[in-house]
Structure 1
Amino acid sequence: MAPRVLVSDELSETAVQIFRDRGVDVDFQPKLGKDKEKLAEIIGNYDGLAIRSATKATEKLIAAATNLKVIGRAGIGVDNVDIPAASRRGIIVMNTPFGNSITTAEHAIALMFAVARQLPAADTSTQAGKWEKSKFMGVEITGKVLGVIGAGNIGGIVCKKAIGLGMHVIAYDPFLSAERAQEMGVEKVELDDLLARADFITLHVPMTDKTRGILGKEALAKTKKGVRIINCARGGLVDEAALAEAIKSGHVAGAGFDVFEVEPATESPLFGLPNVVCTPHLGASTTEAQENVALQVAEQMSDYLVKGAVSNAINMPSITAEEAPILKPFIRLADVLGAFVGQVTESAIKEIEILYDGATASMNTKALTSAVLAGLIRPQVADVNMVSAPVMIKEKGVILSEVKRDKSGVFDGYIRLTVKTENQTRSIAGTVFSDGKPRFIQIKGINLDADVGNHMVYITNTDVPGMIGFIGTTLGEAGVNIANFQLGRDKQGGDAIALLYVDAAVSEDVLNKLRANPAIRQIKPLVFNVD
């Protein structure tokens, strides 16, 4: 029986035909995504779901999708897909990470021009029969400083185009190395420096806990007077109310927004303000981009459903069916090793070394390395996957090396990840035991044996008496249950670490109580997806 795919958002007829040509029974209902009840009623009849942004693949919908094997998102953003819920149900989530990069970058440049020369307001005035030439005094873009927040795929294209326009480009991106910045012809800066110097600011970062509200009231107050702000990335990166006040006060000269905190945006504090240009999330809305991502998602889903091939998957590595049983637990190990370092490292990464020891050296290390990199980047870029992660690392100029060696210790095989930044080196090693679960076996050169849980707390401290009691008592008084508590030190009175596996996330108030102890140097709450 041929696999069945439901297309619940607008895809081109050419894309729909790809499914048919490859032996997939496709049901094309492009308006269905807006009808949540009807969609949930019939979703159980399909093996695949092809969507854009209108369809919301929520936990409730996924629970009703009893036969669903793959969700394909035509586009890069997967905000409308509950990835953890899909993963728990064994549903692969695919996206098309690079199909609309040029289009979105061009839209950001277009908005920058529109704001610089007040084009929409001037057009409206002129077509109303007025001739208000002196009213619409603009500014040149040539010679101005463009601050790019996020110099990845789309941000990198914006940088290149802005340099071609004669702008001086400065960029803030924790993953951008100094060497890569030099290659791109941009100046790498910290966020506060960018805010103080930029004549135009454009955002090209995903929505994560770290980037949400990155341009809030305090950040906007640090910007240069007369700055113009462009956002074609994600709504919520900029505090719209705070920006509106800054525009009203005259501190910010204008803004161009394609994305909003609530979409569809029927109202916003920015609407109606002078020299604010707003568009209805058109970043990917060109004929070329829409066709490219539609064709790509149809090809990817068809290849998986018919041949079992996996590409551009958010929650599954690109591996063969023969490798899967052996490789799967080590893929999970690689991901959590990367996720550990990604969550505790805040400065720009310059070098990555991945050591495969013993049995792991003979595995598909390309897939394992991709999993390490995806875990490493995910705290900053939520929708990264094992296909896009290596590309992103390469684009940022990070030096990546793999080392393979024969068994050298007590474990049949293990993986060690070492990351170097401007001012420090971090290292963590792990293995998989017979139960198939990942274990941390070494951190900072200190040996331990730690289970990996969904919620953990990592502590570095000076080795002094009473630390176990202090940590345990503080967490106990806060009602935090410790499932596993692992300790290690390099020498008596030297550096020590503690890794706690807890039943739930630890609040910031409790973490601050722990930080009050002078022997504690660093505390990091960690989140892993190991269910």
Structure 2
Amino acid sequence: MKIVISEFMDEAAIRSAFVGFDVVYDPALVDAPDRLAGEAADADALIVRNRTQVRGALLDGAARLRCVGRLGVGLDNIDVAACEARGIAVYPATGANDVSVAEYVIGTAMLLLRGAYRATDELAAGTWPRNALSAGREISGKRLGLIGFGSIARETARRAVALGMSVAAHDPFVAADDPAWRPSWGRVESRPLESLLRTSDVVSLHVPLTDETRGMIGGEAIATMPDDAILINAARGGVVDEAAVAEALRSGRLGGAALDVFDAEPLKGAAAERFAGCPNLVLTPHIAGVTAESNVRVSRVTAEAVAQHLRGH
């Protein structure tokens, strides 16, 4: 049986899980659609990250495909409905990168609130901008608002509480009596979206990209947030209106922002240029869930799921 892996993956997991399989591992395949289609034509399994679009002609041409492994949790690059219709199983690496994303959210929140960590060049040039950097804010005592309260958001909340933050979340899919609102390490308040935006010092997104969530944080939503609030999106591009974020930063309607995901990736051209010169902004290339440790976990979980499926276990 043949397994095609089109994006980077921990090679130890490949060697361990896929003994006896015909494995094509080439992280460059994601950028070579013709070669990818050729390899997928007789593949029994396809393993991807977020850039490979498992839909349309690629999916139609993979006549033998039995399962898709996703090295991550978002499924917006996979036509799940079409896979279901053909009996193709889809295996996301649920839970394997929760810690990495949670640490990214807390780390960037602290960086953006404090505002003191970009003075290296000035100090190296012999200046001493101590007064200019003296208004940085502590994370302790601030309020974190989570939009979506799944497993990653819960890991984020636990770390926030440990740092002295209060935490609220908006998630209509988590029942009011769900014990997730009352964990052993603290309390998370359930709030309507408008109230959460209006009262949070840091807002972090933890929702999938759907028709309902696309563009949910645009100019109108940002206008309800405090002027010095921090916005973090390490969930899915398209949930946030990027142009609105850039404008809000320039006009002082936002205190800072961190964007790890974008409506079109890689970020380039006019979509990238709109962020030039924006104050207190962190842009990263869809990397929040990718660390040395999480890559091992994600790869192992995905490889084991795919191998078990193909072996019929």
TM-score by length of 2: 0.91
| Contact kept? 1:195, 1:222, Cα under 8 Å | yes
Q: Distance in 1 between matches of 2:263 and 2:49?
A: 19
Match of residue 119 from structure 2: 122
Q: Distance in 1 between matches of 2:155 and 2:136?
A: 25
Q: Distance in 1 between matches of 2:203 and 2:172?
A: 17
Q: 3-state SS of the aligned residue for 1:105?
A: helix
Structure 1 runs not aligned, ≥5 long: 310-531
| Contact kept? 1:145, 1:199, Cα under 8 Å | yes
Query: What do the CA deviations read for 1:308-342 (whole angstroms, capped 9, x no partner)?
Result: 13xxxxxxxxxxxxxxxxxxxxxxxxxxxxxxxxx
How far residue 119 of structure 1 moved from its aligned partner, in angstroms, is 4.4
Q: Which structure would you say has the larger Rg?
A: 1
Q: 3-state SS of the aligned residue for 1:170?
A: strand
| Contact kept? 1:120, 1:277, Cα under 8 Å | no
Q: Aligned in 2, Cα 1:256/1:58: closer, same or farther, shift over 3 Å?
A: same
- 1:57 matched to 2:57: no
Q: Distance in 2 between matches of 1:210 and 1:305?
A: 35
Q: Aligned in 2, Cα 1:290/1:127: closer, same or farther, shift over 3 Å?
A: farther
Q: Distance in 2 between matches of 1:201 and 1:106?
A: 15
| Contact kept? 2:4, 2:39, Cα under 8 Å | no
| Contact kept? 1:18, 1:299, Cα under 8 Å | no
Q: Aligned in 2, Cα 1:84/1:176: closer, same or farther, shift over 3 Å?
A: closer
Q: Distance in 1 between matches of 2:58 and 2:116?
A: 43
Match of residue 278 from structure 1: 283
Match of residue 199 from structure 1: 201
Match of residue 14 from structure 2: 16
The correspondence for 2:101, drawn from 101, 104, 121, is 104
How far residue 90 of structure 1 moved from its aligned partner, in angstroms, is 2.9
The correspondence for 1:219, drawn from 218, 221, 224, is 221
Q: Aligned in 2, Cα 1:125/1:208: closer, same or farther, shift over 3 Å?
A: farther
How far residue 283 of structure 1 moved from its aligned partner, in angstroms, is 1.0
Match of residue 85 from structure 2: 88
Q: Aligned in 2, Cα 1:119/1:61: closer, same or farther, shift over 3 Å?
A: farther
Match of residue 113 from structure 1: 110
| Contact kept? 2:116, 2:136, Cα under 8 Å | no
Q: 3-state SS of the aligned residue for 2:244?
A: helix
- 1:43 matched to 2:40: yes
Match of residue 190 from structure 2: 188
The correspondence for 2:165, drawn from 164, 167, 172, is 167
Q: Which amino acid aligns with 2:118?
A: A
Match of residue 307 from structure 2: 302
Residues 353-502 of structure 1 aligned to structure 2 (within 5 Å): none
Q: Distance in 2 between matches of 1:262 and 1:208?
A: 15
How far residue 120 of structure 1 moved from its aligned partner, in angstroms, is 4.8
| Contact kept? 1:258, 1:278, Cα under 8 Å | yes
Structure 2 runs not aligned, ≥5 long: none
Match of residue 251 from structure 2: 249
Match of residue 153 from structure 2: 155
Q: Aligned in 2, Cα 1:129/1:237: closer, same or farther, shift over 3 Å?
A: farther
Q: Aligned in 2, Cα 1:234/1:119: closer, same or farther, shift over 3 Å?
A: farther
Q: Distance in 1 between matches of 2:81 and 2:92?
A: 15
Query: What do the CA deviations read for 1:448-486 (whole angstroms, capped 9, x no partner)?
Result: xxxxxxxxxxxxxxxxxxxxxxxxxxxxxxxxxxxxxxx
How far residue 268 of structure 1 moved from its aligned partner, in angstroms, is 5.0
Match of residue 294 from structure 2: 289
Q: 3-state SS of the aligned residue for 1:39?
A: helix
The correspondence for 1:145, drawn from 138, 143, 146, is 143
How far residue 160 of structure 1 moved from its aligned partner, in angstroms, is 0.9
| Contact kept? 1:171, 1:188, Cα under 8 Å | yes
Q: Distance in 2 between matches of 1:209 and 1:103?
A: 27
Q: Distance in 1 between matches of 2:278 and 2:213?
A: 25
Q: 3-state SS of the aligned residue for 1:229?
A: strand
Identity %: 38
How far residue 41 of structure 1 moved from its aligned partner, in angstroms, is 2.1
Q: 3-state SS of the aligned residue for 1:196?
A: helix
Query: What do the CA deviations read for 1:147-193 (whole angstroms, capped 9, x no partner)?
Result: 11111111111111111100111211112334432345011111111
Higher RCO (C-alpha under 8 Å, 6+ residues apart): 2
Q: Distance in 1 between matches of 2:125 and 2:262?
A: 29
Q: CA RMSD in A?
A: 1.7
TM-score by length of 1: 0.55
Q: Aligned in 2, Cα 1:75/1:128: closer, same or farther, shift over 3 Å?
A: farther
Q: Distance in 2 between matches of 1:25 and 1:240?
A: 42
- 1:176 matched to 2:181: no
Q: Distance in 1 between matches of 2:149 and 2:63?
A: 40
| Contact kept? 1:5, 1:26, Cα under 8 Å | yes
Q: Distance in 1 between matches of 2:71 and 2:251?
A: 41
Q: Hey, which of these two has a bigger chunk of strand by percent?
A: 1
